[in-house]
Structure 1
Amino acid sequence: MKIIVPMAGRGSRLRPHTLTVPKPLIPVAGQPIVHQLVKDIAKIL
């Protein structure tokens, strides 16, 4: 199975955090958002 996860946009609501770091790479609870997302998808599959 292949999964496409859209991660587009400027992240303007997360400024000033997104001025230097892309939105998917912003750490939340010590891990980048995309890391947690991939981990959760792997649990389902």
Structure 2
Amino acid sequence: GDDMEALAFAWLAWRTLAGLPGNLPSVTGATEATVLGAIYPANPITQS
């Protein structure tokens, strides 16, 4: 249930951080494998 969903999102986050594709074109029908999502670091000057 919730544990499996949390694990899946953690795996997708790890793949994004590693610059690895997070999709499987053979399963999703996508035209190519691609990194899913993006990482936007906080600006340490404006972070509160």
Structure 1 or 2, whichever has the larger Rg, is 2
Greater strand percent: which structure? Answer: 1
What is the TM-score with the length of structure 2 in the denominator? Answer: 0.25
Greater helix percent: which structure? Answer: 1
